[in-house]
Every structure is written in structure tokens, then in C-alpha cells.
Amino acid sequence: MEDLNLSKTFLESQKRSEKLAREIDLSPDKFRVLTGDRPTGSLHLGHYFGSLKNRVSLQEKGVDLFIVIADYQVLTDHDEFDKIAQNTRELVLDYLSVGINPENGRTFIFPHSHVPELNQLLIPFLTLVSNAELERNPTVKEEIQASDLSAVNAGMFVYPVHQCADILAVRGNVVPVGKDQLPHIEMTRTIARRFNKKFSPKAPFFEEPCALLSQTVSLMGLDGVQKMSKSRNNAIMLKATRDEIAQKVKKATTDCERFITYEPERRPQVANLLRLISVMDGRPAEQIASQIGEAGAKALKEMLVETACDFLRPIQEKRKMYEQEPGYVRSVLQKGIERAREEASKTLERTLRVMNMELL
Ligand code: TRP
């Protein structure tokens, strides 16, 4: 298969992304960020450093921030659906606890199942892509391999188009993503372009959104070899207690050399624990290593537990506060849904007009 890192599309996306980052700094009011997650469980440090931190910093720059909770997408790769409502609530609590702020008048969180006008856009969008294109999507292929589905459903092939509806319904023009989501953003750009060409050839109707590639390296889990993820049991959850953190860290693999050094190539597991401390306390990994030195792996692990507890304390305090405020999460979602519907119904109405479907 084509190496995504070196492909022409990737290099072009990367260039566009760098230019975009500079433009956002200059005039944040021109940009509307649309991003999202599937409600499959609570979030961990990998999510924090991979996307949440970046969302908060975009929010602080003054862009509009729409966060879609992609609940319909859960059905594409999971048979179970019993925890969707609870996971949606957990997701909102995680967002709020890290500083996503729906009180600023520019930040909105909504589950797409509650925005019918958004979902309706899926139908015309589906006519702008071929089955072959849907089947070629490398991220979808990987997800099919990894899914716990008893049988692959059509929703699995179609969800990237649904994601396009998430973005275009609220006219998002910036989508902060990791590399795995790039094929979906490319598809969204293709659909926007084809829509414009077919239905509105004189003036572009949809703006082609740009991917904003995340700058952070993806964090390895405590095993040091796989990406941090809840299902691999190698993650530090944002809401983990000290005991839970200590237990996970205790099981982390190191090596048999006593003296702690930062050598990512030769000692990947030790290096990963050092990097985890480093992203949380802001010191270079080399400095942390030389401070620990001959105190060895036990001291390294103790430091990691301590650093994680210190780092997560303010986040968890905030979370408790929101957890205890009755009806707050629900009201955040209701406001988000209201705003998303306002945008999506405008988009749908205009879309029907250019497709010659208005009533005469
Ligand atoms: N597919 C994304 C994921 O699995 C979630 C998502 C849904 C999304 N709609 C989106 C991300 C729109 C960015 C933009 O993580």
C-alpha cells in the first residue's frame, strides 16, 4: 500500500496545514473549527496531548469551536450501544475538565444524532462519491480489521461521508486531526468540490475545509510499544485515581539497566516513561533522566505517578465541580444542539435551493 507519509496528498496537506496555522494566528475570526470524537469511553493522556490541548489552545485564540459527538458512528464499528448516553456524558465532562468552555459564546458541543438537518445532507453527499472510493479508504480498511463487529455494515463504508456532513453542515473550515483522519478530510474536500462543480458552477457553494495536523507526537502507552489506548490497557485516564495510576505504572515495562538515561533508540520503554513525564511537567526528557540517574526504574516510576497526579489534580477538581452541578452537562448539549441546528438548517435550506428542490 502507498506510504501515507510520503504521498503527494500527505505532503500537500502538510503544507496547507502549516499555512493555515499561521493564518489562524493572524485572523482567528475567519475560522470555524469542527472536530469530534466517538462516544466510546472516557479520555486519557494520549487524547489530551494528541488533541484536547490543541483544541483548548485554538479556542483561546478566538476561533469558533464546534465539537461533534459522533454517536451514530459508534454503531459502525461496535455491536454494543448500551453505553452511548453515558459515554456522551463522560466525554462532555472530560472536555469541560480540560478547559473546553461552552460559556464563551463561541464553543459548542453537540451529538450529531440530534441534528436532523445535518444527517439529511448525507443523502445528496452520497451521490457524489463512488462505491470504489468508499472501499479504498485506508482508515476504513484498518478499522474493519480492528473492529469487533460480527459483520461489516454499510455504515462503516459511509461514515466518512457522514463526517463530511458534520463538517459542511455547520460550515467548518478547519479540522484539527491526526494523520489517520486525513483520508476523510480529503474526501470532504472532494465532495465539496464536486458539489460546487455540479450544483453551483458559478460561485463556490461550500468552502473546502482544511486539515490542521496536530503537532504533538502520538504518545505511546505504558507498555512503550503501542499507541496509548484504553482498550490496550496501557493508558492513564484523565479521571484515574492515584491508586489506579500507580497500579498501571507499576506494570509498565522498563529494562534491566539500573542507571536511567534517555536513549529512545536503544531504550524505547524507559525513554517513553521519561517522555510521559516530560510532556506533563515541561522539562526536557534528558534533564529528567539525569536527575533520576542511579535511583533507577523504581524512582522513575514513582516520579511518573507523582507527575501524573499533580498534572491531573486541577483537571479532576474541575471535573468534580461539573459532575456535581445537576443538569449542567445536559444544558451544555442542549445549547450545542440548538446552535448546530441553526447552522445546519440554514445550510440544508440553501442546499435544497441549489439542487432545485425548493417548492415552486
Ligand atoms: N471519525 C472521528 C473519530 O473516529 C470522529 C469524527 C466524527 C470527526 N465526525 C468528525 C472528527 C468530524 C473530525 C471531524 O475520531
Put simply, whether the predicted model's pTM sits higher than 0.85 gets the answer yes
**Å from CA of 262 to ligand 1 middle:** 35
Three cell numbers at 68?
A: 461533534
Three-state DSSP class for 30?
helix
CA 353 to chain centroid, in Å, comes to 33
User: Whose C-alpha lies nearest to ligand 1, atom 14?
Assistant: 35
Identity at 263, one-letter amino acid code: E
Assess contact for 235 and 199: CB atoms under 8 A: no
Assess contact for 81 and 74: CB atoms under 8 A: yes
**Å from CA of 301 to ligand 1 middle:** 34
Mean pLDDT of all residues in the chain? 94
Q: Of 115, 171, 181, 212, which is best to mutate to test ligand 1, by the most ligand atoms within 8 angstroms of its C-beta?
A: 181
Q: For the chain, how many residues are written? A: 360
Residue in this structure with the C-alpha cell 515541561, named with its chain if needed: 282
pLDDT for position 217: 61
Q: Of 40, 47, 73, which is best to mutate to test ligand 1, by the most ligand atoms within 8 angstroms of its C-beta?
A: 73
Instruction: State residue 68 phi and psi, 5-degree precision.
Output: -95, 130
Residue pLDDT tens, the chain, 360 long? 445 556 788 888 889 888 999 999 999 999 999 999 999 999 999 999 989 999 999 999 999 999 999 999 999 988 899 999 999 999 999 999 999 999 999 999 999 999 999 999 999 999 999 999 999 999 999 999 887 778 899 999 999 999 999 999 999 999 998 888 999 999 999 999 999 999 999 999 999 999 998 766 668 899 888 889 888 889 999 999 999 999 999 999 999 999 999 999 999 999 999 999 999 999 999 999 999 999 999 999 999 999 999 999 999 999 999 999 999 999 999 999 999 999 999 999 999 999 999 999
Identity at 64, one-letter amino acid code: D
Three cell numbers at 321?
A: 465541580
